[in-house]
């Protein structure tokens, strides 16, 4: 029996094969939650698990689990490794998918070396982490962790009115692991710190707090050719001013210690005609900072400014919070395991916090959880330009394997 080792070439091949599912001409990937493409990705992953000597199963929300048994007769709580296979529209090839494939590589390394572990090791591919098609984000892991009930998952509806329950196969029995002993997630950084500093591993200490909100600006529709400029109540003009203020307000906050960021990512204009004055505009507002108090303060500042601008433009501005998450600190047992694994392999690492939300946030509600980051080119993610190197992919998976062995033994 040899020591378990990640197969570098096999890992990269699996990443490339997965990237082809929903691959775009620009080199990215569109694999929306509960789409045919994501279904295909789950089927492919399950087939790879079977080839590796592992079993698989799905729960009622469509999450996929790959199972590797512990030493014979051992019924200890499992070590869970996971991430997601869904992407944003025209997204990247490695966001989420890297963590799932790295988890599978860990199972393959354990099986090929015939390494036994005191705890079962399970890999999860959670559904709808991105929240690009259905709200809220991290829905699949939320269901697993019990922060979202099944009825909420099944009734979630996309912009076309399609419900998740219409997209799931009916009649399948649920197969899911029990409450994990610990949870680990490997992910690309989605930021520039590691690649700028030339550090191959980020030991994630926690995840920023976040608010996802929606702002509706209401004016009055009118004919583009016959309505004088002085009497118009153009909702798009007011919304544009508010959106510009989001950048300015968040920019001032970001100069302080809170590192706050705010983004408007979607805008819907009604009636959406070139010869009609917009009467209503709805846009999203995403705010993140290391602490929830800072997020709340920034949200109140932005919405107060929105009200002021609406009054100046003779409009009405209303906002509502879709969901919010407090900051999450990861468990020392998992953080220390990742750090120890990097030292064991003589891989340089640094502590890092995450501005992006991850499935690990939900898992941290029910068990010790931790993450590791690998660099991505220029810090770019959610884009066809998202890229990683085979060396960094191998290094991250090797650290994940070592950390898993520390926890699973």
CATH fold for the domain made of 8-207+327-408: Aminopeptidase (3.40.630)
How confident is the prediction for the chain on average, in pLDDT?
Answer: 95
Q: Each residue of 55-80: pLDDT tens digit?
A: 999 999 999 999 999 876 677 899 99
408: helix, strand or coil: helix
CATH of domain 209-325: 3.30.70.360
Query: pTM for the whole thing?
Result: 0.86
Q: Each residue of 88-120: pLDDT tens digit?
A: 999 999 999 999 999 999 999 999 999 999 999
d(CA 395, CA 133): 32
Length of the chain: 409
Q: Which of 188-197, 255-264, 379-388 has the lowest mean pLDDT?
A: 255-264
Q: Each residue of 203-223: pLDDT tens digit?
A: 999 999 999 999 999 999 999
pLDDT at 257: 47
Sketch the domain layout of the chain as residue ranges. Answer: 8-207+327-408, 209-325
Cβ 11 vs Cβ 102: under 8 Å:
yes
* DSSP sequence for 251-273: HHHHTSTT--EEE---EEEES--
pLDDT at 357: 87
Q: Each residue of 343-361: pLDDT tens digit?
A: 999 999 999 999 888 999 9
Query: Quick check: 258 pLDDT over 90?
Result: no
Cβ 59 vs Cβ 144: under 8 Å:
yes
Mean pLDDT, residues 166-194? 91
Which residues are within 8 A (CB) of 132 and not within 5 positions of it... i.e. 6 or more apart?
A: 32, 33, 86, 87, 88, 89
Q: Which of 132-136, 251-255, 268-272, 322-326 has the lowest mean pLDDT?
A: 251-255
Q: Each residue of 38-49: pLDDT tens digit?
A: 999 999 999 999
Which residues are within 8 A (CB) of 400 and not within 5 positions of it... i.e. 6 or more apart?
A: 81, 102, 103, 106, 184, 186, 341, 372
Q: What is the largest CA-CA distance in the chain?
A: 83
Tell me the Cα Rg of the chain.
Answer: 23
């Amino acid at each position: 029996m040899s020591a378990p080792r990640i197969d570098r070439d096999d890992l990269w091949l699996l990443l490339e094969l997965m990237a082809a599912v929903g691959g775009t001409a620009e080199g990215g990937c569109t694999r929306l939650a509960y789409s045919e493409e994501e279904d295909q990705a789950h089927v492919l992953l399950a087939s790879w698990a079977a080839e590796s000597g592992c079993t698989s199963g799905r729960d009622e929300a469509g999450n996929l689990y790959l199972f590797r048994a512990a030493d014979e007769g051992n019924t200890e709580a499992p070590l869970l490794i996971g991430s997601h296979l869904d992407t944003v529209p025209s997204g990247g090839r490695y966001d989420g998918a890297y963590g799932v494939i790295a988890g599978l590589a860990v199972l393959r390394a354990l099986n090929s070396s015939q390494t036994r572990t005191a705890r079962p090791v399970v890999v999860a591919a959670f559904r709808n982490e991105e929240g690009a098609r259905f709200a809220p984000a991290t829905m699949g892991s939320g269901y697993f962790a019990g922060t979202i009930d099944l009825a909420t998952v099944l009734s979630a509806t996309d912009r076309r009115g399609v419900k998740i329950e219409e997209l799931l196969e009916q009649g399948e029995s649920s197969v899911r692991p029990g409450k994990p002993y610990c949870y680990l997630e490997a992910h690309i950084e989605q930021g520039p710190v590691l690649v700028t500093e030339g550090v191959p591993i980020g030991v994630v200490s926690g995840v920023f707090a976040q608010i996802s909100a929606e702002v509706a600006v209401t004016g009055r529709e009118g004919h583009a050719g016959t309505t004088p400029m002085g009497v118009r109540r153009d909702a798009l003009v007011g919304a544009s001013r508010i959106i510009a203020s989001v950048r300015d307000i968040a920019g001032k906050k970001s100069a302080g210690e809170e590192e706050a960021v705010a983004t408007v990512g979607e805008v819907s204009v009604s009636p959406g005609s070139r010869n009609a004055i917009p009467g209503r505009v709805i846009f999203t507002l995403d705010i993140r900072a290391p602490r929830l108090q800072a997020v709340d303060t920034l949200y109140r500042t932005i919405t107060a400014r929105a009200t002021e601008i609406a009054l100046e433009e003779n409009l009405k501005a209303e906002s509502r919070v879709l969901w919010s998450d407090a900051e999450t600190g990861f468990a020392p047992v998992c953080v220390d395991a990742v750090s120890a694994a990097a030292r064991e392999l003589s891989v340089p690492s640094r502590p890092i916090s995450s501005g992006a939300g991850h499935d690990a946030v939900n898992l941290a509600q029910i068990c010790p959880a931790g993450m590791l980051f690998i660099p991505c080119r220029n810090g770019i993610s959610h884009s066809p330009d998202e890229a990683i190197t085979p060396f960094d992919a191998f290094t991250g998976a090797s650290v994940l394997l070592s950390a898993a062995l520390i926890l699973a033994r």
